[in-house]
Amino acid sequence: MSENFDGRGALRGQSDQAGADQLADSALLASENATHSAAAVLVDEPGGQGRQATNFDVDDFPGGLTACLEAVLMVADEPQNSGQLSQVLGRSVQEVDDALQALAEQLAAGQHGFQLKHTVRGWLFASNPDFQPVVASFLTDGQSTHLSQAALEALAIVAYRQPLTRAQVAGIRGVNSDGVMRSLLVRGLIREDGVDPETRAALLVTTSLFLEKMGLDSLDQLPSLAPFLPEEASAVQEMAERTAPAVPLPLQAEDESGQSAGGQAE
pLDDT at 45: 42
- Nearest partner of 121 among 184, 74, 76, 68, judged by Cα: 76
Three-class secondary structure of residue 201 per DSSP:
coil
- Distance of alpha carbon 150 from alpha carbon 175, whole angstroms: 10
Write the single-letter amino acid at 215. G
102 falls in which pLDDT band (50, 70, 90)?
A: very high
Q: Backbone phi, then psi, for 112, in 5-degree steps?
A: -120, 150
Contacts of 29 (CB under 8 A, 6+ apart): none
Which domains are delineated in the chain? 58-132 (1.10.10.10), 149-224 (1.10.10.10)
pLDDT for residue 4 is more than 60: no
- Nearest partner of 157 among 142, 170, 145, judged by Cα: 170
pLDDT at 145: 60
pLDDT at 148: 86
- Distance of alpha carbon 45 from alpha carbon 25, whole angstroms: 32
For 10, counting Cβ atoms within 10 Å of its Cβ (0-12 exposed, 13-18 middle, 19+ buried), the class is exposed
Choice among 126-135, 182-191, 232-241 with the minimum mean pLDDT: 232-241
Which H helix or E strand runs over 153?
Answer: helix 149-161
What is the maximum span of the chain, computed from C-alpha positions, in angstroms? 164
pLDDT at 1: 43
Which residues in 45-76 are b (16+ Cβ under 10 Å) and which e? eeeeeebebeeeebeeeeeebeebbeeebeeb
- Distance of alpha carbon 221 from alpha carbon 12, whole angstroms: 84
pLDDT for residue 166 is more than 80: yes
Q: What is the mean pLDDT of the chain?
A: 75
